[in-house]
Structure 1
Amino acid sequence: MPGSEDSRAAPAYYDPAAQDATMDPGRQFIGCLLQAPLHIARRALAGMNSSDADDQMTSFVLQLVIELVADDVPPAPAAVCEHARSTGRAGSETRQTRLRTWVFDTFQAAVVPQMAWYFKTILLEKAWRRAVAEHATRLSQAARSSPVDVLAGLLDNPHLAMLYQRYRAAADTSGELDSRAASVAAA
């Protein structure tokens, strides 16, 4: 079962054909980070959580990248894989091979690091939309059968408000940061 595994361990299964890294915004975001210097990766990761990703492997690798950057280590592909191994989260040799393949494919398919902010905005919007849909389901269930006090308590959701604020902050600054990055690259 997908939800029964330890979320800190490398996912047991990765099918390279299942998700094309060139078309997946989460993988593109991570690919940009894997190519980025530490200062760009740090800025792009501001306000991000591994739970913002919508897929188990992307979430797992994003957490590894977040940890590396927090430790002032550039998130190069080999560093990410070594961090997973050295922290005991890479798992068996088969899982390590799958992780290395996923990281390499993601690194290779990524566009320039300066695009990280664009993909960050997409990830945060998708995370917010998922959270709204999950909350709507809870509200619908509560509206049918829960006591009024329980239903009223569900109407105020600080998690949704915070996620929306992170998305808006990313959307509002992505254009500004991308244009600054482009002017630096052109110089």
Structure 2
Amino acid sequence: MHQRKYALELIDEVGMSAAKPVGTPINVNVKLTSKHYDEHEKIHGALEDPLVDQTIYQRLIGKLLYLNMTRPDLSFSTQNLSQFLQQPKKSHMDAALRIVRYLKKQSGPGLLFSRSSDEIVTAFCDANWASCPLTRRSVIGYVVKIGNSLVSWKPKKQTIVSKSSAEAEYRCLASTVSELI
């Protein structure tokens, strides 16, 4: 199951047909912050990062979120960028366009549902303790497989602040077990 045609149409619509493809959907070294956070913390780069057209950004993120149905590799990136729909900055738009450049390199993958008789349910989860610079909440993620087929996945910012990495991991494990049940 894939959305190759939709991904190629999105690349053309955004005007990135001639852009150089990238190997990862998001740059892990870039910490994206909101305009409100920048003003509160008086971050120096905030003046150099102007707001962009909100409707164009929202439309692009909406299309990328639609791709999440068959592209678990985009889930974390698009979830992260969807937090800034109200006041997107140029850095947010650049990150969204990086995802489109990633699609240019990886436009074909999708989900493969194997016919194997292996019906073993496998789940993996991980937490990144206090990784959100705005709220200090942990970001968790899990995947659930039946045999070799990926059937469920989710990146999510936790609803409360964990006091330790162990607590964040336990909360992640609880979410994963809840999904399994």
TM-score (norm 1): 0.28
Higher relative contact order (CA 8 A, sep 6+): 1
Structure number having the greater strand percentage: 2
Q: Which has the higher helix share?
A: 1
TM-score (ref. length: structure 2):
0.28
